[in-house]
Chains A and B, each alone.
Chain A
């Protein structure tokens, strides 16, 4: 292998690694705050990419319909909980009003925007923002319907629910997007040569977006009160409850952020890869491998793991392309072995 090939593979690996890093961060976030292993991550990749593709081809983004349906379901769950919960005596009217705005009015507004604006002529950033404006609330609603009612359940039960949500979203994805995959427009046609290597603008955009997101998350967790509240919930949920950080509020934030990161990852890979309703799962699993490297707890280690996964995948596709997935997923075994040897029982339940 000469230097040129080596550099190309490195560029590929780092570009993919940047995407895996976003996914890994989302997984770490959701797990540490809610103890849910966020399997539906892959579906958000597909939902995000396919919605942008639909907007670009001038079709009605059918995710809006799903958002309205899930929103209506969420409102019904909130209403039912409010009416039948014995623990709250006064019916929380204000809460229900907010719930109606979030779950009924907001999706309706998105529907109006989807119908009234010619999205195919909009700049790509606006299309991406509009897609995220659907996927993020969808993530929050899914948390409300599927996970919040059993927030105290064991990790295993939560995992089983996550598997259920994963398959439900997969089926719905097939239903609303169809079996065909799509690609989106590229972010930029620009490229440059550094030495013998052709650096694509596409790669640079992906890496830059990922770095900016990581930086923004760092500032969010380090500086903002909400970020601190999420960290606090991850460290000690009882302590968080004591200072009035509702477990469900933290869970909503975590799921919203994770859904946003997942669909953003889908948007980032869509110009170079054909993304179908079911593509996301394997991509998300690689993010999962990276998150495991960080023990589902450490953001910097997860990011490092993501770079490792990206590079490993890239080089193994050159030497042993038929086995590249196997090689990447096999990485879990030494990592887990090493983790189980170095750490005692971190499970505090």
Chain B
């Protein structure tokens, strides 16, 4: 865990911040004036029930809303508003998203999936080989399976490919949309283990989860999102103790 702070969100430069971010699908308002902050090296989680607008939040930050969706408000990345930039630009700056549905290239090999993750990353002095080695160090299983088609992998392995592909773009902020969805508990533990270790490489993580217990365990800070509004926020360890949170999100598992 990072150095304990009284109010972790009050100081320090934030890598990512949304200010009054709204998302609308036609007349449906999926997200209302949401403001969240993420500091370097932090893991911040947004928990909330199905349909609360969690995916909408991440997609709006990435600039990848469905064609019927529009967003308003600011998305500050290192202090610059990127809300009007396209996804390629945001990706180049250092935002990366692992979406809820993974969106892998199923008929291509694991390695091709990873290589394409670095499609925008063609700077001098960097080779795919180095990038791949880095990913294989985090997920040794992917190295064994690198010639296998992504579509034939198990759910946990696919999630690893999806995270690996996102990491190949060398992000400063990694956004994960329900990484534990559909995974067996043991695989889920492995994924969370990796997430908590990403912090060491300086990547800040914005984690979205319905599995609130595991998410709060690895996180520094948390937000509770309910039908488009942030209803609670605080240090993850405090949220985990909050009676309202326990009743609504942790009760079933306790």
Residues of A whose CB lies within 8 Å of any CB of B are 87-90, 152, 225, 228-229, 231-232, 235-236, 238-246
Cα(A245)–Cα(B115), bound, Å: 12
Cα(A260)–Cα(B112), bound, Å: 27
> What is the distance, in angstroms, from A160's C-beta to the closest C-beta of chain B?
19
Q: Pick the most buried of B67, B85, B101, B116: most chain A CB atoms within 10 A of its CB.
A: B116
Known contacts being A229-B119, A242-B64, A245-B119, is A88 close to B105, with CB within 8 Å? no
B127 at the interface (CB under 8 A from A): no
B92 at the interface (CB under 8 A from A): yes
Cβ contact of A232, chosen from B64, B67, B108, B169, cutoff 8 A: B108
Cβ contact of A228, chosen from B97, B103, B106, B116, cutoff 8 A: B116
**Residues in A whose Cβ lies below 8 Å from that of B120:** 243-244
Q: Pick the most buried of B86, B88, B119: most chain A CB atoms within 10 A of its CB.
A: B119
Cα(A295)–Cα(B105), bound, Å: 19
Task: Determine if B104 and A238 form an interchain contact, defined as CB atoms under 8 angstroms apart.
Answer: no
**Residues in B whose Cβ lies below 8 Å from that of A236:** 103-106
Task: Determine if A238 and B105 form an interchain contact, defined as CB atoms under 8 angstroms apart.
Answer: no
Q: Can you list 14 A-B pairs, Cβ within 8 angstroms, ordered by A?
A: A88-B84, A88-B85, A228-B108, A232-B108, A235-B105, A235-B106, A235-B107, A236-B105, A238-B101, A239-B105, A242-B62, A242-B166, A244-B91, A244-B92
Interface mask (B81-103 → A, CB under 8 Å = 1, otherwise 0): 00011111001100001010101
Interface mask (B106-138 → A, CB under 8 Å = 1, otherwise 0): 111000100111111000000000000000000
Cα(A232)–Cα(B116), bound, Å: 8
Cβ contact of B116, chosen from A87, A152, A245, cutoff 8 A: A245
Task: Determine if B169 and A239 form an interchain contact, defined as CB atoms under 8 angstroms apart.
Answer: no
Q: Pick the most buried of A232, A243, A245: most chain B CB atoms within 10 A of its CB.
A: A243
**Residues in A whose Cβ lies below 8 Å from that of B119:** 225, 229, 243-245
**Residues in B whose Cβ lies below 8 Å from that of A225:** 115-116, 119
8 smallest beta-carbon distances between A and B, as pairs: A239-B103, A244-B120, A89-B84, A244-B91, A244-B88, A235-B105, A232-B105, A152-B67
B37 at the interface (CB under 8 A from A): no
**Residues in A whose Cβ lies below 8 Å from that of B85:** 88-89
Known: A243-B118, A244-B91. 11 other contacts (CB 8 A): A88-B84, A89-B84, A152-B67, A228-B116, A232-B108, A232-B112, A238-B101, A242-B166, A243-B117, A245-B119, A246-B88
**Residues in B whose Cβ lies below 8 Å from that of A239:** 103-105
Cα(A232)–Cα(B106), bound, Å: 9
> What is the distance, in angstroms, from B218's C-beta to the closest C-beta of chain A?
23
Cα(A228)–Cα(B117), bound, Å: 11
**Residues in B whose Cβ lies below 8 Å from that of A232:** 105, 108, 112, 116
> What is the distance, in angstroms, from A86's C-beta to the closest C-beta of chain B?
8
**Residues in A whose Cβ lies below 8 Å from that of B107:** 231, 235
Q: Pick the most buried of A152, A232, A245, A246: most chain B CB atoms within 10 A of its CB.
A: A232
**Residues in B whose Cβ lies below 8 Å from that of A229:** 116, 119
B172 at the interface (CB under 8 A from A): no
B165 at the interface (CB under 8 A from A): yes
Cβ contact of B99, chosen from A235, A242, A246, cutoff 8 A: A242
Q: Pick the most buried of B67, B84, B169: most chain A CB atoms within 10 A of its CB.
A: B84
Q: Pick the most buried of A87, A240, A242, A246: most chain B CB atoms within 10 A of its CB.
A: A242
Task: Determine if A242 and B97 form an interchain contact, defined as CB atoms under 8 angstroms apart.
Answer: yes
A249: nearest chain-B partner, CB-CB: B88
**Residues in B whose Cβ lies below 8 Å from that of A244:** 87-88, 91-92, 119-120, 169
Cβ contact of B64, chosen from A90, A235, A241, A245, cutoff 8 A: A241
Task: Determine if A87 and B112 form an interchain contact, defined as CB atoms under 8 angstroms apart.
Answer: no
Q: Pick the most buried of A152, A229, A232, A239: most chain B CB atoms within 10 A of its CB.
A: A239
> What is the distance, in angstroms, from B8's C-beta to the closest C-beta of chain A?
29
Task: Determine if A238 and B117 form an interchain contact, defined as CB atoms under 8 angstroms apart.
Answer: no
**Residues in A whose Cβ lies below 8 Å from that of B64:** 238, 241-242
Task: Determine if B103 and A242 form an interchain contact, defined as CB atoms under 8 angstroms apart.
Answer: yes
Cα(A42)–Cα(B62), bound, Å: 40
> What is the distance, in angstroms, from B2's C-beta to the closest C-beta of chain A?
28
**Residues in A whose Cβ lies below 8 Å from that of B117:** 243
**Residues in A whose Cβ lies below 8 Å from that of B104:** 236, 239
Known contacts being A152-B67, A239-B104, A244-B120, is A228 close to B112, with CB within 8 Å? yes
Cα(A242)–Cα(B162), bound, Å: 11
> What is the distance, in angstroms, from A158's C-beta to the closest C-beta of chain B?
14
Cα(A231)–Cα(B107), bound, Å: 9
**Residues in B whose Cβ lies below 8 Å from that of A243:** 91, 116-120, 165, 169
Cα(A244)–Cα(B86), bound, Å: 10
> What is the distance, in angstroms, from A114's C-beta to the closest C-beta of chain B?
35
> What is the distance, in angstroms, from A82's C-beta to the closest C-beta of chain B?
12
B101: nearest chain-A partner, CB-CB: A238
B81: nearest chain-A partner, CB-CB: A89
Interface mask (B141-173 → A, CB under 8 Å = 1, otherwise 0): 000000000000000000000000110010000
> What is the distance, in angstroms, from A240's C-beta to the closest C-beta of chain B?
8
**Residues in B whose Cβ lies below 8 Å from that of A87:** 84, 86
> What is the distance, in angstroms, from B127's C-beta to the closest C-beta of chain A?
12
Cα(A162)–Cα(B64), bound, Å: 27
